[in-house]
Amino acid sequence: MKRILVLLAVLVLSTAAFAQIEAPVRWSYAAKKLSSTEAIVFLKATIQPGWHIYSQNVKDGGPVKTSFTFASSKDYTPVGKATEPKPISKFEKVFGMNVGYFESSVVFQQKIKLKSAKASAVTGKLEFMTCNDQKCLPPEEVAFNIPLGK
C-alpha cells in the first residue's frame, strides 16, 4: 500500500512540475538562396493567443528585445540587421514607455552573403522575451541551425 501511495505522490508531483513549464512561442526556420552569393534566412515565431514577443527596436529601459546573433563563419556573413514587419505599438505601464511587439506570428528576415560554395547552413542564437497581460516569462535563448539547401 505504501508503494502505491508513494508512486501516486511522485506521479502527481511530476505532472504538476510539467504543468508549470510555459512555452508560448515556437520557432521555425527556412532559407532561400537568391544566387550563388546571396541568401535570405527566415526566422518565424508562432505565438500562442494572449502572449506577445517584442520588436528588435525596443528602447533601453524596456523589455528584453528580440535579438539575433549569427555565428562567425568563413562561409557566410550577415548583411545588415534582420528585418521585421511593423510591430503593434502600445504603452505598457510596467515599463513606463511605448513598446513594439508581435502577436500570433512574426517572420524576421536576414540577408546573408555567401562567401563559399561550401556554405550549407547558417547558425547562431536568438533571444526573446514573452509576456501576456499578467506576467512576463524570463528571457529565453534558442540556438538555430538553418540549412541553406541547394
The C-alpha torsion from 12 through 18 and 20 to 22, rounded to 10°, is -160
Decide: residue 90, CB within 10 A, 0-12 exposed, 13-18 middle, 19+ buried: exposed
pTM of the model: 0.83
**Per-residue cell: 110:** 536576414
pLDDT tens per residue across all 150 residues of the chain: 445 433 333 333 444 444 457 899 999 999 999 999 999 999 999 999 999 999 999 999 999 999 999 999 999 999 999 999 999 999 988 889 999 999 999 999 999 999 988 889 999 999 999 999 899 999 999 999 999 976
pLDDT at 150: 65
Nearest to 102 by CA among 149, 57, 38, 42: 57
* CATH numbers and ranges of domains, the chain: 24-147 (2.60.40.1250)
